[in-house]
Structure 1
Amino acid sequence: MGTIDKPLRVVGAAIQHNNMILCAQRGANKSLAGYWEFPGGKIEVGETPQQALRREIQEELHCKITVGKLLCKTVQHYDFGDIELSTYHCTLNEGETPQRTEHRQLQWMQPDRLDELDWATADIKAMQQLKVSYTKEQ
């Protein structure tokens, strides 16, 4: 029997601004190229998920966010390995504007239209929960 590796721990930001959610399409040089995701990345040794998310969003989008409550946690198997994705409710800090650096495109979407995009499998649960919670609020 082989050993079971721990899943790679990653975080995603469901960034809300003006009742819209920021969606990011993965770049051509990335695994899962072309699929949509909530931006974020790997948790480094010694970081909390919240610290990792603030760092990753600063690196990827050149903006600052406030990290809120955990939206959901998903463990997903991909060909390249397993990931444990923790997605958090986030808001843009005052005066911040996300800048595309490594994603193919960024798009602000109404929560009830999130399922129109082709999401990476690990992000689908968070997308569905955002859509359902938005629908309940209306």
Structure 2
Amino acid sequence: MGKQINVVGAILIREGKILCCKRGPGRSLAYLWEFPGGKIEKGETPWEALSRELQEELKIKVKIEPEVFEESSYDYEFGTVKMKTMICHLEKGEPILTEHVALKWLPVTELETLEWAPVDVPTVKKLVAQGYFYD
């Protein structure tokens, strides 16, 4: 069995749209879309990790909902990624590209038009099925 990587992803909602981020070249899953976030480091809660990752990657401060929206896992060649996604609201800043090559704010009805990283797909499907979002 390969290594397990625990990550978090943000369902960042603004004006009824969700932030989608495109991974850059030279990384695993290059050019696939994902919810912004990253690895949970030792000693961090998922909420602390998500807050830190969004500050590092997008230079934003967010309010994170207390409950997990979706949990998913996917077996990649490099290991199993287990992801928790949480609903977030922008508190401060405007997302800035530092690690991603593109950002899009999309309504739930358009999420499936993008090519998503496999571990993100269950969250996309749940959002679309529920028509789920609020500000």
**TM-score when normalising by structure 1:** 0.91
Once the two structures are TM-superposed, the CA of residue 96 in structure 1 deviates from its matched residue by 2.3
Contact 2:13 2:133 in 1 (8 A): no
Contact 2:71 2:83 in 1 (8 A): yes
Contact 1:17 1:91 in 2 (8 A): yes
Between the two proteins, what is the percent identity of the paired residues? 40
Once the two structures are TM-superposed, the CA of residue 128 in structure 1 deviates from its matched residue by 1.0
Query: Which secondary structure state, in structure 2, belongs to the residue aligned with residue 128 of structure 1?
Result: helix
1:29 aligns with 2:26: yes
Deviates more, 1:8-17 or 1:125-134: 125-134
Aligned equivalents of 2:93 and 2:131: distance in 1?
Answer: 24
Partner residue in 2 for 1:14? 11
Partner residue in 2 for 1:104? 101
Aligned equivalents of 2:106 and 2:129: distance in 1?
Answer: 14
Once the two structures are TM-superposed, the CA of residue 75 in structure 1 deviates from its matched residue by 1.2
Query: Which secondary structure state, in structure 2, belongs to the residue aligned with residue 65 of structure 1?
Result: strand
CA 85–136 in structure 1, closer or farther in 2 if over 3 Å, else same: closer
Contact 1:112 1:135 in 2 (8 A): no
Q: Which amino acid in 1 is paired with 2:89?
A: T
Give the unaligned 5+ runs of structure 1: none
Aligned equivalents of 1:80 and 1:14: distance in 2?
Answer: 25
**TM-score when normalising by structure 2:** 0.93
Once the two structures are TM-superposed, the CA of residue 7 in structure 1 deviates from its matched residue by 1.5
CA 27–85 in structure 1, closer or farther in 2 if over 3 Å, else same: same
- Between the two proteins, the alignment pairs up a number of residues equal to 133
Once the two structures are TM-superposed, the CA of residue 32 in structure 1 deviates from its matched residue by 0.1
What are the Cα deviations for residues 10-51 of structure 1, in whole angstroms up to 9, with x where unaligned?
A: 000010000000000001121100000001000000000000
Deviation >3 Å, runs of 4+? none
Aligned equivalents of 1:136 and 1:10: distance in 2?
Answer: 22
CA 61–79 in structure 1, closer or farther in 2 if over 3 Å, else same: same
Aligned equivalents of 1:107 and 1:134: distance in 2?
Answer: 18
Query: Which secondary structure state, in structure 1, belongs to the residue aligned with residue 38 of structure 2?
Result: strand
Once the two structures are TM-superposed, the CA of residue 6 in structure 1 deviates from its matched residue by 5.1
